[in-house]
């Protein structure tokens, strides 16, 4: 597992870890021993990789749909617009508003 790679790794996977985590007690002891990683911080992904290395059970659910990187300003704005467009209450009005802004 690689924490927020800038480019896709040469080897590895096209999967990402996002969302919520349910951690077992042994994850906490591994986190306590995990050295600082990316950005000088302890990374949960490093601890999860260590759990896998130690043959602990790590389950994942593969999801379908579009993913936005809300840790970046552009990704957050893209997610906001995508959600706004599909919102049942405001979607049509939101789309009209965007069209109006684009035509200025």
pLDDT of residue 95: 97
Q: What does the alpha-carbon distance between residue 31 and residue 29 come to, in Å, rounded to a whole number?
A: 5
Q: How far is CA 62 from the centre of its chain?
A: 13
**Over its length of 104 residues, how does the chain's per-residue pLDDT go in tens digits?**
566 666 655 666 666 666 778 888 888 888 888 888 777 888 888 888 888 999 988 888 887 888 888 888 999 999 999 999 999 999 999 999 999 999 98
Joined tokens for residue 51: 């759990």
Residues 6+ apart with CB under 8 A from 54: 30
Residue of 73, 68, 70, 51 lying closest to 60 (CA atoms): 51
Cα distance between residue 30 and residue 33, in whole Å: 5
Predicted pLDDT of residue 42: 84
- Count Cβ neighbours within 10 Å for each residue of 60-97 and write b for 16 or more, e otherwise: eeeeeeeebeeeeeeeeeeeeeeeeeeeeeeeeebeee
């Amino acid at each position: 597992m690689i924490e927020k790679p800038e480019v896709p790794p040469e080897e590895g996977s096209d999967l990402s870890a996002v969302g919520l985590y349910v951690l077992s007690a042994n994850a906490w002891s591994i986190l306590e021993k995990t050295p600082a990683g990316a950005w000088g911080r302890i990374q949960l992904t490093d601890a999860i990789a260590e759990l896998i290395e130690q043959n602990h059970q790590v389950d994942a659910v593969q999801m379908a749909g579009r993913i936005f990187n809300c840790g970046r300003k552009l990704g957050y704005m893209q997610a906001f617009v995508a959600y706004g467009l599909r919102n049942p209450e405001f979607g049509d009005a939101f789309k009209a508003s965007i069209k109006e802004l684009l035509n200025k």
